Amino acid sequence: MTLAYISLLLIQLAVIARAVLRPHREPASRVAWVVVIGVVPVVGILAYLLLGETNIGRKRTTRARKIFAGVPPPSSPDAASEINLRPEFPDRYVPLFRMGETINGFAPVGGNTALLTADSNAGIDAIVADMDAAADHIHLIFYIWLADNNGLKVAEALKRAAARGVACRAMADGLGSRTMIGSKHWTEMRNAGVHVAIALPIGNPLLRPLHGRIDLRNHRKIVVIDDRITYCGSQNCADPEFRVKPKYAPWVDALMRFEGPIARQNQHVFVGDWMNYVDEDIRSLLEPPIKAPGTGFTAQVIATGPTIRNSAMPETFATLMHAARRELTITTPYYVPNESMQAALCGAAQRGVDTKIIFPARNDSREVAAACRSYYRNLLEADVKIYEYVGGLLHTKSITLDGDVTLIGSANMDRRSFDLNFENNILLYDEALTATMRARQENYLAMSSEVKMADVEAWSLGHRLWNNTVGMLGPLL
């Protein structure tokens, strides 16, 4: 037995031990990593060191937690607004909003109004119109910001606002928005007085893995204007033609414009993200009393990520599924659930809830599409109705249940959104707005093909083998 072999064996055993002892990991994930490291030692060890742990870097984690601890709790309400701010929803939804509150400390708040924008272009136009009317500040975060028609509309609106004295802070993810960050438009915004920042910058790709996983991203899409208007949904700052991946176009998104106290909760999320990458203390923006000019519905921000409680997002999804009594409709482009969430979805259908889930027929990730379809048989056996949207890449992330509750935001139902990405969502209770979201989901259904058990059984042996093999690798994240 050579020294090299003994050394490899010791390293292999050490990495296996680390995978087994790593906290906050599902048993299936531990087993999968042990098998991979044991069967293909060199590849498995390298894969684990690069991708096996959720790590944004010790310095970033320490800084993020310090900033989060120093951000003041939500301010007290304005005396004239106290009644309007009181949340109102049936007792059976108490567990939903209580779950959300345990994640970020944001209590559900009343006094909100909102509308669902017509489409991606209308959503960007609405954002630009609000930016042009801004009087004090504009804050935004986008995962993907492209230098296309819509992306440049937003850039120009920021420059106009900065020119008239509005404080403009714009943040983009270092990977998703790398083309915009490296373009002349980014420099022009900075020169025009827009404060720009990069979330999770890549730096040197060869050295980046030494400072945390390169594939941990800020996937949030947040706009806050004057502390009273905010946007939330799946919409990136880009055209629906999405020219970086044109063969999957159009990308079909949903974006809601909110007005009211819920904007302060998104402001909290923005302040934490901004201060994590910029040496500018803007916590004073969170101090003024919260105002609710009129009555409105109850809403709550749910923001998750690697520095937030582990498994917060799948717990939220599962809690919503358990709460459904009559109807549950879901849209998501990426579905790679953990066991508890898969059980919750199947359980909803099995207890008689009309349960529908809509995926894109053509996914921009071949591997995620295969992993997603590995769950089709179990879902269909539980009476979950599966649909595949054929009008483009359905990118909307939404849940509606029982005609009065909606969750909308950036989080997908996959391991990336569960453990790797920083996400942002809004949970709301309102019959009228949920009816609007439900109508949008019906439009998606009208452009979808239902998947039956016969379709799954008709898949070739190779097709099933590919789907199930990729599906088995899901726990490796």
Q: What is the pLDDT of residues 412-461, one digit of tens each?
A: 999 889 988 999 999 999 999 999 999 999 999 999 999 999 999 999 99
Residue 206 pLDDT exceeds 60: yes
Tokens of residue 347, six digits: 């359980």
Measured CA to CA in angstroms, residue 146 lies from 130, 215, 241, 273, 396 at distances of 20, 19, 11, 21, 19
Q: Which pLDDT score is estimated for 10?
A: 78
Poorest-pLDDT segment among 122-126, 207-211, 376-380: 207-211
Q: Which residue has the higher pLDDT, 366 or 474?
A: 366
The mean pLDDT value for 92-110 works out to 95
Q: Which residue has the higher pLDDT, 263 or 3?
A: 263
The mean pLDDT value for 390-416 works out to 96
Residue 85 pLDDT exceeds 70: yes
Alpha carbons 438 and 444: distance in angstroms, whole number: 10
Q: What's this model's pTM, rounded to 2 decimal places? A: 0.91
Poorest-pLDDT segment among 40-54, 184-198, 246-260, 325-339: 40-54
Q: What is the pLDDT of residues 4-29, one digit of tens each?
A: 777 777 777 887 788 777 776 677 77
Region at 247 (left for phi over 0; alpha for psi -120 to 50; beta for the rest): alpha
Q: Which pLDDT score is estimated for 12?
A: 78
Residue 201 pLDDT exceeds 70: yes
- Neighbouring-strand partners of residue 303: 424
Contact call for residues 186 and 160 (beta carbons, < 8 A): no
Q: What is the mean pLDDT of the chain?
A: 90
What 8-state DSSP symbol labels residue 126? Answer: H
Contacts of 417 (CB under 8 A, 6+ apart): 219, 304, 313, 334, 410, 411, 423
- Identical fold for domains 58-89+109-298 and 312-476, yes or no, is yes
Q: Which pLDDT score is estimated for 406?
A: 98
DSSP string, 375-394: THHHHHHTT-EEEEE-SSEE
Contact call for residues 257 and 408 (beta carbons, < 8 A): no
Q: What is the pLDDT of residues 104-143, one digit of tens each?
A: 999 999 999 999 999 999 999 999 999 999 999 999 999 9
Q: What is the pLDDT of residues 275-317, one digit of tens each?
A: 999 999 999 999 888 888 889 999 999 999 988 887 899 999 9
Residue 477 pLDDT exceeds 60: no
Categorize the per-residue pLDDT at 472 as very low, low, confident or very high, splitting at 50, 70 and 90: confident
Rg of the Cα atoms in the chain: 22
Tokens of residue 303, six digits: 């923001």
Contact call for residues 157 and 129 (beta carbons, < 8 A): no
The mean pLDDT value for 147-159 works out to 98
Helix (H, G, I), strand (E, B) or coil at 58: helix
Q: Which pLDDT score is estimated for 115?
A: 98
Domain 58-89+109-298 has CATH 3.30.870.10: yes
Q: Which pLDDT score is estimated for 55?
A: 65
Contact call for residues 270 and 139 (beta carbons, < 8 A): yes
Q: Which pLDDT score is estimated for 13?
A: 80
Q: What is the pLDDT of residues 220-241, one digit of tens each?
A: 999 999 999 999 999 999 999 9
Residue 410 pLDDT exceeds 90: yes
Q: Which helix (H) or strand (E) holds 233?
A: strand 229-233
Domain ranges of the chain: 3-51, 58-89+109-298, 312-476
Q: Which pLDDT score is estimated for 1?
A: 59
Q: For the packed helices 312-323 and 339-350, what is the interaxial angle rounded to 10 degrees?
A: 10
Contact call for residues 245 and 150 (beta carbons, < 8 A): no
Burial of 247 (0-12, 13-18, 19+ CB in 10 A): exposed
Contact call for residues 291 and 260 (beta carbons, < 8 A): no
- Neighbouring-strand partners of residue 168: 138
Q: Which residue has the higher pLDDT, 396 or 69?
A: 396
Alpha carbons 475 and 57: distance in angstroms, whole number: 22
Q: Which pLDDT score is estimated for 56?
A: 63
Q: What's the distance, CA 400 to chain centroid?
A: 16
Categorize the per-residue pLDDT at 61 as very low, low, confident or very high, splitting at 50, 70 and 90: low
CATH for 312-476? 3.30.870.10
Positions annotated as catalytic residues are 219, 221, 226, 395, 397, 402
250: preceding bond cis by omega (within 30 degrees): yes
Q: What's the distance, CA 274 to chain centroid?
A: 18
- Neighbouring-strand partners of residue 360: 389
Highest mean pLDDT among 24-28, 81-85, 353-357: 353-357
Contact call for residues 330 and 386 (beta carbons, < 8 A): no
Residue 185 pLDDT exceeds 80: yes
* pLDDT above 90 coverage of the chain, percent: 70
Measured CA to CA in angstroms, residue 354 lies from 110, 303, 406 at distances of 29, 28, 16
